[in-house]
Structure 1
Amino acid sequence: MSEVIIKAEARDAFGKGAARKIRREHKVPVVLYGHGTDPRHLTLPGHELLLALRTPNVLIRLQGAVDELALPKGVQRDPIKGFLEHVDLLLVKRGEKVTVDIPVTVAGEVADGILDQQLVSVSVEAEATHIPTGVEVDVEGMEVGAHVNAGDLKLPKGTSLVTDPETLVLHVIAAPTAEAAEGEAAEGEAAEAAPAEAAEAAAE
């Protein structure tokens, strides 16, 4: 995993007003914690941090006010506009093992039926500077009834699974027949009609 270098500035102003001022300057308030140290309050450039966070479990090399390696552990975004409001970073060291969630992606096409993916990420333990970007499952040619559990995933060397190995990641299920689809539609219509009929009966 490559490192993303971002310049960090010390932050000594706190509260909502100070945070708004920081964001107006296109920066993001950040807290760096971990290893039993006191939390350190920093400010990072917003655009650079936003680009870095597009990579899951990105390793950030902070330079400037601090010279540390960190992983994002908490990201707060504006619910409407989506800009970064606040980020928590976890201090890590080279050689240290960390537990993170990595995405599960799918490659290929099933032979028949419908692919039902139950799990989009799994928890793994990996060396802080060698966290895999994700794990891929090849479903090419899978037929109805085939399934993949977490323990079946092929993780990179040096990475161990934390998620229960028996957890279902994905399986192939039979496509509904035309009759079954019509039956479900009829049930839905009946369910929608029931409240209206009950209201009419009560009114009489």
Structure 2
Amino acid sequence: MADENTLKAELRTEFGKGAARRIRADNKIPAVIYGHGTEPQHVTLPGHEVMLIIRKANAVLDLDIAGKSQLALVKDVQKDPVRQIIEHLDLIVVRKGEKVTVDVPVHVTGEPAGDAIYTVDTATITVEAEATHIPESFSVSVEGLEEGTQILASEVELPKGTTLIADPETLIVNVTAPQAVDLGESEETEGEEAEGDVVESDESAEDAPASDEGDN
């Protein structure tokens, strides 16, 4: 485990919304650790350090809980939808050498050939990996690929010790021709012609001789 993932966790004795607000006001984050048949442990973690660590997907924390080391995988991050402040973490107990199933994000590099473009059809790939060696992301290159090329999950290179769990036929990246964009020029032209017809009609009315009724 990297040193930056090592955190000191404090056991919590107060619960409820009021207690959680006080914890966050102190720049800390409430969390719960569960799994492997153990009793859930409610802890408080240092806010700034946690925010730096969980920028990477599937972060594993090495927690110091009352002098005892505990590895825990970040399972769920609950954030305030407006302020994006971390409100709570769900952590799962893991052990060294243990295999875990996780969704690893896909990172696309390069540019396709010519005017072709690519779309990411599936943003993450489900794999099984050792808890302390979870890949940060999978790199998929589209450099020089022609339109019509498709990259499936089975074609993504996985590091040693990582096993594909997702359907091998899952479409990850699709290289296609750019779609023509209709700017509505034909409609604008028709509108201009229609407007021209109205103007011409008005001018014709002005040039027409007055009716006999108007002279009476």
TM-score, structure 2 normalization: 0.81
Distance of aligned partners of 1:136 and 1:188 in 2 relative to their CA distance in 1, 3 Å threshold: farther
CA distance in 2, matches of 1:143, 1:127: 36
SS at match of 1:129: helix
Return the letter of the residue paired with 2:174. H
Q: Which residue of 2 aligns with 1:14?
A: 15
User: Which residue does 1:201 correspond to in 2?
Assistant: none
From 77, 91, 96, the counterpart of 1:89: 91
CA distance in 1, matches of 2:24, 2:146: 51
User: What is the identity percentage for the equivalent residue pairs of Structure 1 and Structure 2?
Assistant: 50
Contact 1:102–1:123 (Cα < 8 Å) also in 2: yes
Gaps of 5+ in 2: 189-216
Deviation at 1:188, TM superposition (A): 11
Matches within 5 A, 1:1-204: 2=2, 4-65=5-66, 66-112=68-114, 113-177=116-180, 181-182=181-182, 185=184
* Aligned residue-pair number: 185
Q: Which amino acid aligns with 2:147?
A: V
Please give the per-residue CA displacement for 1:128-186, whole angstroms capped at 9, x wherever unaligned. Answer: 11111111011110011111001110000110011111010011111124xxx22x858
Whole-angstrom distance in 1 between the partners of 2:103 and 2:52: 19
Name the CA distance, whole Å, in 2 between partners of 1:27 and 1:165.
Answer: 41
Check 1:15–1:173 CA distance in 2 against 1; reply closer, same or farther (3 A cut). Answer: same
Can you list the C-alpha shifts for 1:30-71, whole angstroms capped at 9, x where unaligned?
A: 000010111000000111111111111112100133420011
TM-score (norm 1): 0.86
**Structure index of larger Rg:** 2
Name the Cα RMSD after superposition. 1.9
